[in-house]
A and B are shown apart, each in its own frame.
Chain A
Amino acid sequence: MSTRATTGQRAAAGTADYLDQRTGVGTAVKGFARKIFPDHWSFLLGEIALYSFVILILSGFFLTMFFVPSMTLIVYEGPLAAMNGVEMSEAFASTLDLSFEVTGGLLMRQIHHWAALLFMAAIVTHMMRVFFTGAFRKPREINWVVGFVLMILGLAAGFTGYSLPDDVLSGNGLRITDGVVKSIPVVGSYMSYFIFGGEFPGEHIIPRLFTLHILLIPGLILALIGLHLFLVVLHKHTHFPGPGRTQRNVVGFPLFPVYVAKAGGFFFIVFGVLALMAGTMTINPVWNYGPYDPSPVAAGAQPDWYMLFLEGGLRLMPGATEFVIAGYTLSLNVLIPAVVIPGLLFTALAAYPFIEAFATGDKREHHLLDRPRNAPVRTGIGVAILTAFFILLLAGANDLIATHFAMSLNDITYIFRVLFFVAPVVAFWATKRLCLGLQRKDRELVLHGHETGRIVRFADGEYIEVHKPLDEYERWIRVQHEPRRPLEILPEHDERGVRRKGYHRDALRARVSRFFYEDRIEPVTPAELAAAHSHGEHDALEGRPSSDGVPAEIASGPSVDARDR
């Protein structure tokens, strides 16, 4: 046993020596092996996206072995009675073949599609985590933009892949794309020809989408994932505030062995969950939709979930906004929901770190995350954007809402048209209030401690509930954040009455800053805590002078406990 182990060790040492002499890998291993990563479940959301992508590549490779990206029409023969003898493109036929006649092909196809949906879901959730905790602040703004571009590429990858089987559902999706592209002023018709190689649908679109889907887009995603991870390593991961965690350190566990096991293990968990889903739940049953033909369409015509917000926007927009100007048609009823609104939404998202940096005027590096409650306006903005997005998602499913909740399709559309404008405002206000309330709760806890349910009576007949003060670790989480106040700006005119240069920019900045930080709750200071203790009748009785009279504890019976609660 021991000799074998030594043999193994000797072999390992030999290999390491060989590699190091040729690559100097020792330096990298020394740097990386004990690199510290902080531990929090929400830091694994990005890993779900990363692992989904790896699984997409693995399962996608399997699929490319059998898929034929061709729009040539053939007559299909196969086991499914409803498809046997039907004329269809080779793309559709090969999709059926790889599903039904390649053992395990259906599983791989379903893993691939579930992984695509999961990829986008994980990206969005990961972005939410980064947004709400303020992880995008300096020095990570660039990485936020890289992540944002990855999300857009994810959308593109999903869209190009969704259309490949050449079925009725995705074909109508392409047709909608064609309609949207044609609505673009001046160049719309030509862009449609550019995409389809002539008139819709033509015979080029599937091969073109295939090349984009398996070569260009995954290549770009891979490159940007490399950059994304490189920047994560360069910046070192952010961590949540807590005792011992500062802007100048990172607290957690070493890459080797803990994170190799945890993060590596998580890859297999993601793969396992996707296999479980693909083994039990049908996804994108193209044999139900049938091969593409320009005539049919099926009720429930929707894209995958990550494109549903565009569909929702198109459904909500009233038609009255198409105009003819000097003989040229301007289809704002298509342009606004399909181009302008997503454009604004995405630009706002991409630019947010820079907007907030402008408002705070903060040039420092931030490695400690914010608790979302401590940034009420940011949290409110995030929830408002998500609310608008969610309303659009629901609007994209309005026909299903109508049938499943026995409502009128038309009423639902009218309601969503209003909600799209009202709900984000309400969500912003409610979230901001909720955050401020939670901050007050934090102050309350720090100043007065936990309720214990123990009621005592003093000699003078006064009843109080005993509170247990927080220990210093608990307290630190609630008081560690720095208060943020609106920026003060210099007056418009200097002392000699001359207008100051750059005043307007400053005034704008002050307005934005006021919007962000005017309503605020500041963390408890030691002085406040001391004051609360010195005069607080609610606090620990131990500190109370005995001259007040000896407190008589009466509340040990269950009846008082019940009343207290």
Chain B
Amino acid sequence: MSNEHSSTDLTVSGAGTSPATFQDPGMPPHQERMADKDPAAAKRAERQVVVLFAVSVLGTVGMLLAYFLVPSGDTVESMRTSNLLLGLGLFLSMFGIGAAAVHWAKTLMSDHEQAEARHPQKSDPETRAAALAALEAGAQDSGIGRRGLLKGAVVSAVALAPLTFAVPLVGQVGGDWDVSKFRHTLWERGRRLVRDPSGDPIRAADVTIGSAYHVIPDGLREGEHATHWIEEKAKAVVLMVRMDPRDLTEAEDRRDWSYEGIVAYSKICTHVGCPVALYERQTHHLLCPCHQSTFDMADGAKVVFGPAKRPLPQLPITVDDEGYLVAQSDFTEPIGPSYWERLK
């Protein structure tokens, strides 16, 4: 509203008589504090500062006492008490100093605002000219402009020298650089499915409808894998569930990959690789807790929601002579998140 008003005002009055802009009135008059006017107030402020420093000393003493007298002990309660007392002591010790210093500055040190002049950042023309001249003289002196071969030699030598550092580093920092390992897991024909982490084999008959088993390959920590089982486990973990076979929708070429309603899928998300493990028994949906991709375990682990694109890879399973669940083969595709040459 004022805007329209003012524009009409502007036409009414003769604008020419006033300056175009307001003038800075300068610093407002200084207002005295209580402590400036009243010596009693100053004395009081000083006492307050002293008390705050004393609080800090008490805090330090308290923290040291807590350190020596209240051990953190073996129970959760005693650890909590120790942590609390040490924390409070440190708090008082530090906060006391801080509050005292600030209170001192605010009440007793001068509160007259002062002005300091600024100067433009750029150097004055003479300095610039002198700097330029110095550089030119130096360049002239070295003859870098005239001696072309020398320039080339300097550039080549300096550019190549870092290779002495970079090549050995890059050569080894990635281990053996054999990225084809992504394609294979420990699963192979006849390898038993065992419970994670106990390693007990699983009888198909024990997997009742509605069950969810977290599964690793048998012999994960034995033999040649003993030293790098954790990488193998990171690729081989499987979630196995059993549902009513009538609920199961199976692709033609995967009909024999399940066993009487028992299906096993890689637990590593095809999005960015979190373990997908929230199995909802009634809907047969499997939800990833990291980014909420949802897979339908009853329908080839297809994505029904969220940021993943591809279904989870299925592990073909069957039972051995003793009735234990075994793999028919490795996964038929690389497990886990997508990468550039995944399908190559």
Is the A/B pair a real complex?
Answer: yes
Q: Which of A274-293 contact B (CB under 8 A)?
A: 275-276, 278-280, 293
Q: Which residue of chain A is the closest to B293 with respect to CB atoms? A: A319
Q: Given A301-B290, A526-B21, are A295 and B275 also a contact pair (CB < 8 Å)?
A: yes
Q: Distance (Å) between the CB of B315 and the closest chain A CB?
A: 15
Q: A19 an interface residue at 8 Å Cβ cutoff?
A: no
The proximity string for A residues 259-276 relative to B, scoring 1 for CB distances below 8 Å and 0 otherwise, is 101101111111111011
Name the segment of A213-221, A249-257, A349-357, A502-510 touching the other chain.
A249-257
Q: How many chain B residues touch A (Cβ–Cβ < 8 Å)? A: 114
The 8 Å CB contact of B101, one of A100, A252, A262, A480, is A262
Assembled-state Cα–Cα distance A104/B79 (Å): 10
The 8 Å CB contact of B74, one of A79, A201, A315, A410, is A79
Q: Which of B243-300 contact A (CB under 8 A)?
A: 267, 269, 271-275, 277-278, 289-293
Q: A193 an interface residue at 8 Å Cβ cutoff?
A: yes
Asked if A186 and B340 make an inter-chain contact with CB atoms under 8 angstroms apart, the answer reads yes
Q: Which of B163-219 contact A (CB under 8 A)?
A: 170, 173-177, 179, 181-182, 196-197, 214, 216
Asked if A528 and B230 make an inter-chain contact with CB atoms under 8 angstroms apart, the answer reads no
B42 surroundings in chain A (CB, below 8 A): none
Asked if B274 and A526 make an inter-chain contact with CB atoms under 8 angstroms apart, the answer reads no
Q: Given A295-B237, A301-B274, are A526 and B86 also a contact pair (CB < 8 Å)?
A: no
Asked if A244 and B6 make an inter-chain contact with CB atoms under 8 angstroms apart, the answer reads no
Q: Distance (Å) between the CB of A31 and the closest chain B CB?
A: 11
A311 surroundings in chain B (CB, below 8 A): 290-291
Asked if A334 and B87 make an inter-chain contact with CB atoms under 8 angstroms apart, the answer reads no
Q: A235 an interface residue at 8 Å Cβ cutoff?
A: yes
A301 surroundings in chain B (CB, below 8 A): 274, 289-290
Asked if A319 and B174 make an inter-chain contact with CB atoms under 8 angstroms apart, the answer reads no
B82 surroundings in chain A (CB, below 8 A): 103-104, 106
Assembled-state Cα–Cα distance A257/B235 (Å): 62
Assembled-state Cα–Cα distance A531/B7 (Å): 10
Q: Which of A158-177 contact B (CB under 8 A)?
A: 172, 175-176
Asked if A319 and B26 make an inter-chain contact with CB atoms under 8 angstroms apart, the answer reads no
The 8 Å CB contact of A250, one of B118, B272, B273, B341, is B118
The 8 Å CB contact of A244, one of B24, B76, B228, B272, is B24
Name the segment of B32-40, B109-117, B125-133, B138-146 touching the other chain.
B109-117
Name the segment of A323-331, A456-464, A485-493, A554-562 touching the other chain.
A323-331
Asked if A472 and B72 make an inter-chain contact with CB atoms under 8 angstroms apart, the answer reads no
Q: A125 an interface residue at 8 Å Cβ cutoff?
A: no
Asked if A176 and B290 make an inter-chain contact with CB atoms under 8 angstroms apart, the answer reads yes
Assembled-state Cα–Cα distance A325/B82 (Å): 60
Q: Distance (Å) between the CB of A85 and the closest chain B CB?
A: 13
Asked if A294 and B233 make an inter-chain contact with CB atoms under 8 angstroms apart, the answer reads yes
The proximity string for B residues 296-329 relative to A, scoring 1 for CB distances below 8 Å and 0 otherwise, is 0000000101111110000000000000000000
Q: Given A199-B234, A534-B13, are A183 and B337 also a contact pair (CB < 8 Å)?
A: yes
Q: B9 an interface residue at 8 Å Cβ cutoff?
A: yes
- Give me 4 other A-B pairs in contact (C-beta within 8 A), A80-B76, A197-B173 excluded: A250-B115, A258-B109, A301-B289, A525-B21
Q: Enumerate 6 A-B pairs (CB-CB under 8 Å) in ascending A order.
A: A193-B179, A194-B170, A251-B114, A321-B309, A327-B343, A475-B22
